[in-house]
Amino acid sequence: MFYFFLTVEIIVCFALIAAVLLQAGTGGGLAAMGGGASTESFFGGRQATTILTKASWWLGGTFLGLALILAGLSTRTSQPRSVLEAEPVAPTPVLPAPDLPITVEPQQEQGTQETPPPQN
% of the chain exceeding 90 in pLDDT: 28
Model pTM greater than 0.75? Answer: no
Mind giving me the DSSP string for 34-100? STT--HHHHHT---PPPHHHHHHHHHHHHHHHHHHHHHHHHT--SS-SSTTTSPPPPPPPPPPPPPP
**What tens digit of pLDDT does each residue of 53-84 get?**
899 999 999 999 999 999 988 887 666 667 77
CA distance 83 to 62: 38
Count of Cβ atoms closer than 10 Å to residue 87 Cβ = 5
